[in-house]
Each structure stands twice: as C-alpha cells, then as structure tokens.
Amino acid sequence: MDAIPPRSLAYRALFRVPDAGGLRIVCTAGCLWVTVDGDPRDILLEAGESFEADGHAPALLYAMEASAFLLAPRLQGSSRRSAAKNSSDCKRSPWHWAATRAASSGATGCSGRPVDSASTCAWQARSR
C-alpha cells in the first residue's frame, strides 16, 4: 500500500481507520489521540510522531487541535515508536495533555484564573 496524501482534521473531528494492521499513522501537524479497538492504551501523537498498531483492529483518530495525518505502510525495524514512548502515552491522558498545554500557553479557566495542570488532574481524579 502506498501512503495516502495527508488528510486534515478539524479540531474535535474523528476519522475511522477500518483496519490499522499493517499501517503507520503519521501525525504531520497538530495533535491526534489514537485509540485502537481492544488496546487499553491512549496514544497521543504530535507533529512528526507516528504509531503502528500491534494487530488488525479498527482505530479512531481524534483531533485534539486542528491536525493533519497520513496513513503509510508499516515500517520494518527500529522506525517504530519505542515501547517506552507508548508506555508514557498510557500515563499521559489526553486530558492531562490538554491541561498541560493550556497551562503553558497562559490560558485561563472559566473563573479567569490561569489553568494549571495539577488542579485539572486533581479535578479529574475527583470526578471519576
């Protein structure tokens, strides 16, 4: 399979990949949240990063911000994201990513106070 041309996703848009097996998902702009059916990990890809699913299963791509991606044939060998990188994604939820991004950009919350990732994460823990 040849790589398809890059596709754009608007903020909060979804794209369904019917079978992610044998594909490399390459984020070319923005940030994508990738979920693969049956895989408990949450994968966050930022521009320049890629991911290959472990098996044949559908995948959903969610744009955490306006993003672009391409689907390419799976690479052989060391080009694959390391297990350590994938493991860190499991610990960094999309909500934590968004809070950290907002805090570093000087964003403010509903009350007008600066957003900070620690309070947002504490709120998440209480709301579960």
| Sign of the dihedral through C-alpha 62, 8, 96, 112 | negative
What's the rounded mean pLDDT across residues 23-50? 95
How do residues 100-127 score in pLDDT, each as one tens digit?
A: 665 555 543 333 334 444 433 333 333 3
In this structure, are 58 and 103 located in the same domain?
Answer: no
Considering the domain architecture, whether residues 67 and 99 belong to the same structural domain is answered as no
The CA–CA distances, whole Å, from 126 to 29, 95, 116, 118, 120 equal: 33, 14, 16, 13, 10
- Are 72 and 100 within one domain? no
Averaged pLDDT of the chain: 74
The answer on 22 and 69 residing in a single domain is yes
Q: Is residue 16 part of a domain?
A: yes
Domain residues for 14? 1-77
